[in-house]
Structure 1
Amino acid sequence: MKKCSKKKILFITAFPPNEQTAGQNYSMNLINDLSSTHQVDIIYWGYEKHSISKKIIDRVNVLKEYSVNMKVLSIIWSVILFLFPFFTVRFNLAALGYIHRIYKHYDILYFDFSQVFVYSLFLSHSCKIMMCHDVISQKYTRDNRFYIYKWWINNSEKRLLNTAKRILCFSEKDRSLISTNEKIVEVVSFYIDNKILDIQLETLGLGSFFCFYGAWNRNENLSGLLWFINKVLPLCDSDIVFKIIGGGMPLDVKKIIEKKRNISYLGFVENPYSIIVQSKALLAPLFSGAGVKVKVIESLALGTPVIGTNIAFEGIMRVDYANNKNAQVLFSSAENMATLINNFQISQKEKVDIRNTFLSKYGSRKFIHMMNL
């Protein structure tokens, strides 16, 4: 492979790169990767209770941190720019002015998350790259509350994407959804954390519990969890244990969980993989959202099967093991999910098989390897 000469990259991202959510973790790993051979300067927008990772703070130049707009200001900008408000919550003139003064000094402008694509409208540059963590038109039009805005959302996203030279996404499914005029759309792989790869699955014991994993301030995760608690949990055998991992749980939901005997909330865990790897299965009752669900990828990389919906498995290759069993177990109703859980069996040998099969097939196509293409 031809070696890529050192480049100056302006990395504009909608969130502080860190390990607290899957998307931010990808950004952090990518920045670490890029900064090993290139100059990376970062502009990012703050997010409540999130800070930029110490893992990258000494390796890059953090130029600016900006704040998210209040809803009223976002709506004003959406009217002025004729963009759906989702795309304007991080737009302000101060940020635009600063970016406009410096952007010509960079070889690559990298726009990370759709919320910052708006700045590309005002920048004429030969190498503008957009990372679509989700296809927003799919994410919002799955929600009936936004169906009336379908044209506005689609039009806004297409208009912004058409300003890029190259577009990146995480799956062939998302690539097929992105409709642009003669733009290069490329699939990149998630980074598999070393905390996952270093686990010696063969030496671990297998627990008797099921687990949930996610950022619980995100509605698609929280609504699925509440659906499970209300509809599925009462149908599960009383001796089955459930563990919930991840930060951002609302206080009122914490109180609901505390009243249940066989389900517990562990909160943010520094190394969630040590729990997921020992669980019988990861539960992913997702009924909205878009993009590839990283928790499913990580669970399969740990050898832990997933019981979930079609939305949970979108864009992820099928993983078969042990006489064509499917590691992505699809449920059709609350009753069906409870039956699957009550009768679920998995051996340590089968988990090793799942892990080996997944890791042998999952792609390792990283942006840093594609920069000269």
Structure 2
Amino acid sequence: MKLLFITPYLPSEKSGHAGAKLIYQNIISLSKLHKVSLATFIDSNEENMLNILANNGIDVHPVNYPRNQKSILGKLVSGFRNIVPALSYLIGKEPFFFAKYNKKRMRSLISQLLSNNNFDLIQVEYNVMHHYSDLFVNIPSVLVFHDISTKLYERGKNLGIKTDRRLYSIAKKIEVGIADKFDSIVTLTEEDKLYLINLGYKREICVIPPQINVVSNIDVSKKPNTICFIGSYNRQPNVRAVEVLINDIYNNIDFPVELNIAGKSLPKYLQKEIRNTEGINYLGFIDEIDEFIKTQMLMVAPIQLGAGLKMKIPHSLANGTPVITTPIGAEGIDIGSENGLWVCDGIEIIIKKINSLLIRQPILIERGKAGQNAVKKLFSEEVILSRFDQLFSQLIKK
């Protein structure tokens, strides 16, 4: 089968973005069975990653799109480039984050690929890439909702984030219409599926969670009394979780604990606060993230925002490190405390759970091993590939 993937982020195992890792795992697995082409936006520092995909037989077609520019010139160019998306948001057409991915060069690339190939199916990753659906109305198409934006903004609105009020109103008007452009919809969790149905989506939705690989060939020891959090801090849910860890949780732990925070782009005000707090470390982006997670006794993820499946949770379990998180953090993850995942609804409950678990570290190690087996059953390559193959077969038959 000839597949075309259309993505806003370059699929990469080394990306600091969970969505890019998810797409990478799926696209590599599917390329073993199908002929895969990829149209993707790439950042200015990602060209060296293209060969990894090409070496796996994937036909890669990138469109340059620099993000998060730091220089004055870069910011000026970015501001000019985003005038039209900003206007789209101001007139209430769609959120800026959606509009900025509507690019002529990507449209031209996809048109060219469609002219030169007979694709059997097109898979679009993220709702923000919906703009190109009119190019392939006669080819079966799948849209993967990595999260439901209306749900994300609703939660932000309910937490008092003022900008999310308007974003919620706009997203609620357009998100079902975006879904209706495609022949099939995939969500990562049952919770997101139900939310989209409640928004008014009428057709069938397929739930396919991310692939999570259990790494068993890294031999490291656990460091006593360590807790961690990982994430990309270009995303507000992760920033807010770090704020809660630093300001509300860490100082209320009953005994000395080392808190290690990993991931790129943590805001400078939080980095300064960490430098001034004994026992908390900001490690930045870590290449060997699996090895780091394996050394930690416990991940604490006080996630209060977001939608979709939080990959850091099963990722931590896959590395034998148990997790304490919130109901939002645990969405889509059918794993219980017997397998190393404790779900705590409230900061005080999280603190009590940390205090009770870190004094029983042999139990944490035992539950971490059980968590690895639970992740294998739910998120293995075999399980996820079978769901995609079933979906693709149904669409082709139609």
TM-score range, shorter chain: 0.7 to 0.9
Q: Does 1:14 align with 2:14?
A: no
- Deviation of 1:131 (Å): 1.0
Q: Which whole-Å CA distance do the structure 2 matches of 1:34 and 1:156 have between them?
A: 31
Which AA in structure 2 matches 1:221? N
- Of residues 332, 337, 341 in structure 1, which corresponds to 2:346? 332
Q: Does 1:113 align with 2:126?
A: yes
What corresponds to 1:191 in structure 2?
211
Contact 2:63 2:106 in 1 (8 A): no
Contact 2:63 2:105 in 1 (8 A): no
Q: Does 1:169 align with 2:165?
A: no
Q: Deviations over 1:208-252 (max 9, x none)?
A: 311111112222111220222122222224521111122222333
Q: Does 1:55 align with 2:47?
A: no
Contact 2:340 2:368 in 1 (8 A): no
Which AA in structure 2 matches 1:30? N
SS in 2 for 1:264: strand
Instruction: Give the % identical residues.
Output: 21
SS in 2 for 1:191: coil
What corresponds to 1:103 in structure 2?
114
Contact 1:319 1:358 in 2 (8 A): no
- Deviation of 1:120 (Å): 0.8
Relative to structure 1, the CA distance from residue 285 to residue 276 in structure 2 (aligned partners, 3 Å threshold; closer, same or farther) is: same
Q: Which whole-Å CA distance do the structure 2 matches of 1:206 and 1:251 have between them?
A: 27
Mapping 1:35-74, distance limit 5 Å: 35-47=31-43, 49-51=45-47, 52=49, 54-58=51-55, 59-67=57-65, 70-74=81-85
Q: Which whole-Å CA distance do the structure 1 matches of 2:44 and 2:240 have between them?
A: 21
Contact 1:208 1:241 in 2 (8 A): yes
Q: Which whole-Å CA distance do the structure 2 matches of 1:272 and 1:98 have between them?
A: 34
Q: How many residues align?
A: 360
Contact 1:43 1:64 in 2 (8 A): yes
Q: Which structure has greater helix proportion?
A: 2
Q: Which ranges of structure 2 fall in alignment gaps of 5 or more residues?
A: 67-77
Contact 2:307 2:328 in 1 (8 A): yes
Contact 1:307 1:331 in 2 (8 A): no
Relative to structure 1, the CA distance from residue 66 to residue 78 in structure 2 (aligned partners, 3 Å threshold; closer, same or farther) is: farther
Which AA in structure 1 matches 2:61? L
- Of residues 325, 335, 344 in structure 2, which corresponds to 1:318? 335
SS in 2 for 1:119: helix
Which AA in structure 2 matches 1:170? L
Contact 1:84 1:156 in 2 (8 A): no
SS in 1 for 2:329: helix
Relative to structure 1, the CA distance from residue 79 to residue 231 in structure 2 (aligned partners, 3 Å threshold; closer, same or farther) is: closer
Relative to structure 1, the CA distance from residue 281 to residue 53 in structure 2 (aligned partners, 3 Å threshold; closer, same or farther) is: farther
Compare 266-275 and 142-151 and name the one that shifted more: 142-151
Q: Which whole-Å CA distance do the structure 1 matches of 2:89 and 2:122 have between them?
A: 23
SS in 1 for 2:277: coil
Q: Which whole-Å CA distance do the structure 2 matches of 1:216 and 1:133 have between them?
A: 17
Relative to structure 1, the CA distance from residue 267 to residue 182 in structure 2 (aligned partners, 3 Å threshold; closer, same or farther) is: same
- Of residues 93, 96, 100 in structure 2, which corresponds to 1:85? 96
Mapping 1:152-163, distance limit 5 Å: 152-163=170-181
- Deviation of 1:365 (Å): 2.7
Q: Deviations over 1:25-56 (max 9, x none)?
A: 11112221222232222211234655545421
Q: Deviations over 1:152-182 (max 9, x none)?
A: 2122111111010111121111222223655
- Deviation of 1:89 (Å): 1.1
Contact 1:169 1:187 in 2 (8 A): yes
What corresponds to 1:350 in structure 2?
367
What corresponds to 1:3 in structure 2?
none
**TM-score, normalised with respect to structure 2:** 0.81
